[in-house]
Amino acid sequence: MTSITRRTLIAGAAGFAAAMTFRQARADEFVNILTGGTSGVYYPLGVALSKIYGEKIPGVRTQVQATKASVENLNLLQSDRGELAFALGDSVKLAWDGNEEAGFKAKLDKLRGLAAIYPNFIQIVASKESGIKTLADLKGKGLSVGAPKSGTELNARAILGAAGITYDDLGHVEYLPFGESVELIKNRQLDATLQSAGLGVSSIRDLAASIPIEVVAIPADIVAKVGLPYVARVIPANTYDGQTADVPTAAVINFLVTRDGVSDDLAYQMTRQLFENLDEMVAAHKAASDIKLADAAKDMPIPIHPGAERYYKEKGVL
């Protein structure tokens, strides 16, 4: 064997080994997607993302984790127990600030933004027989406000506070996921539920299909008292069975959040595949129809991940 041939074989073997090492490293990349309760909007969208990433990003394995949503998700990211999370904008800001009262013991400095996605509509729904028609009518009644210190519960505190209502003013407070709240209302053990989610959330659709409901208005002046990131929005008529008129409410933008330990290439691909496969996201839940590339990098309450930033610069939106 000539020295040239030997050198060629050695170089080829080294290149093959390097290629195999790279391929193995890619195969070992794992994306745990942190969502929310299975009856909310985060979960089906997380499942859709898991499928997209698993099929479109070579060598990546995915998993979807049901959680108590925003606050838990952000704390899990900070402790390196997830790679991507759904979270409400106000929770993200409070996490970056290290607001202990909101459930963050210190500043969550590992958080990085991937994309602004769709607005969460704060939807207060009561059984017709409860007699609740306005925010003031909630006094003395039973209300579920979501899991303690979840994004939904933070929304509840903000809206009720702006309306001059404290938890002490309520008949009783339940800290339950969406699905469990609905079951209690069906069984006449609860009067109303506050759910922060995309329009058409399955839990409220289930309730409206089972009993007559009242969708309670959150007037624009109450939303203005809370201030940003809350904005005035409308729940269109016929979003739910029996809801025959538009109902004013408040909304908060949701974000997809990652962490600084996620590689630039992976963050780039997660961002790219989200926007190149929006049809699959919309098929999973219609709330995804509000996800717009033009708005994805706007009003991010935390630093944008460099990988996501690269994608937005390529697309000319940053």
Convert the pLDDT of each residue in 20-63 to its tens digit: 433 444 457 999 999 998 988 899 999 999 999 999 999 999 99
Question: pLDDT above 90 covers what percent of the chain?
Answer: 81
Q: 17 versus 127: which is more confidently predicted?
A: 127
Mean pLDDT of the chain: 91
Of the pLDDT bands very low, low, confident and very high (cuts 50, 70, 90), residue 306 is very high
- HSE-up of residue 217 (Cα within 13 Å, Cβ side): 12
Q: If you count them, how many residues does the chain have?
A: 318
> Is residue 74 classed exposed, middle or buried when 0-12, 13-18 and 19+ CB atoms within 10 A define those classes?
buried
Taking only the tens place, the pLDDT of each residue in 221-276 is 999 999 888 989 999 999 999 999 999 999 999 999 999 999 999 999 999 999 99
pLDDT at 228: 81
Q: 135 versus 27: which is more confidently predicted?
A: 135
pLDDT at 221: 97
Of the pLDDT bands very low, low, confident and very high (cuts 50, 70, 90), residue 4 is very low
Taking only the tens place, the pLDDT of each residue in 88-107 is 999 999 999 999 989 999 99
In the chain, what are the domains?
3-117+254-315 (3.40.190.10), 120-252 (3.40.190.10)
Phi/psi of residue 12, nearest 5 degrees: -65, -40
Please state the rounded mean pLDDT for residues 287-297: 95
Instruction: Return d(Cα 186, Cα 178) in angstroms, integer.
Output: 13
Residue 203 predicted with pLDDT over 60: yes
Are 229 and 299 a contacting pair, CB within 8 Å?
yes
pLDDT at 26: 47
- Report the amino acid identity of residue 180: E
Diameter over CA atoms, the chain = 93
Cα–Cα distances (Å) from 233 to 36, 132, 157, in that order, read: 23, 21, 18
pLDDT at 27: 52
Give this prediction's pTM: 0.77
pLDDT at 9: 44
